Amino acid sequence: TGRLLKPSGDAEPGEVAAAFREQARALVDSGPDIIAVETMTDLAEALLAVRAVREVSDDVVLVATLTFEKKTRGFFTVMGNTIQEAAAELAAAGADVVGSNCGNGIENMVEIAREFRATTGMPLAFRPNAGMPQIVGGRILYPETPEFMAVRLPALLEQRPAIIGGCCGTTADHIRAFRKVLSV
């Protein structure tokens, strides 16, 4: 939603859940194969979204991914949630696939993937950024080239993800480079 849930912010959990249910109904009515709850920084908000989708449909494949930051003691969401908490609680709420997207380049995403795999046997999804954005000459640039990411992709694949892709800064060239690695 872009708003923090109470007590950290001003968003009422009930109102947020109702908004997620409305979105879920519209999405499910369109007949998707997959619904992705993604780029979440608060596990509580992600759980509201996952539960809202499950209230509307038990059939649609539900992917739930959070964004984590690397701290001295490991990876945490902005709200302090761990990978272990996220995997367990998202699964209990009805997610079919869990993982992470955004906020990290491929090297950190490999570390995140290892933690997820050590925590759960569930299907996993990972979509790293092409690095962290930098402003160069007034333009936003992402430093990780398709080749840089592709060379590191096998380490991510060792964690047996069900879904891989790219997030901010990735282009069709990045995905083509991933595809070449997958074809070998």
- Domains parsed from the chain with CATH numbers: 13-183 (3.20.20.330)
Residues pairing with 61 in the sheet:
34
DSSP 103: S
Query: Which stretches of 120-171 are DSSP H helices?
Result: 146-157
Per the CB < 8 A criterion, the answer to whether 114 and 74 are in contact is: no
What's the pLDDT tens digit per position in 138-175? 999 999 999 999 999 999 999 999 999 999 999 999 99
State residue 148's pLDDT score. Answer: 99
Confidence tier at 4 by pLDDT (50, 70, 90): confident
51's tokens: 């539960």
Q: Is 95 among the annotated ligand-binding positions? A: no
Per the CB < 8 A criterion, the answer to whether 84 and 124 are in contact is: no
Q: Is 30 among the annotated ligand-binding positions? A: no
Let me know the angle formed at the C-alpha of 167 by 108 and 120, rounded to the nearest 5 degrees: 55
Confidence tier at 6 by pLDDT (50, 70, 90): confident
Q: Is 108 among the annotated ligand-binding positions? A: no
Helix axes 13-29, 43-56, angle to 10 degrees: 40
What's the pLDDT tens digit per position in 42-91? 999 999 999 999 999 999 999 999 999 999 999 999 999 999 999 999 99
Residue 33 CA: distances (Å) to CA of 62, 102, 137: 9, 22, 42
| Pairing outcome for strands 69-71 and 74-76 | antiparallel
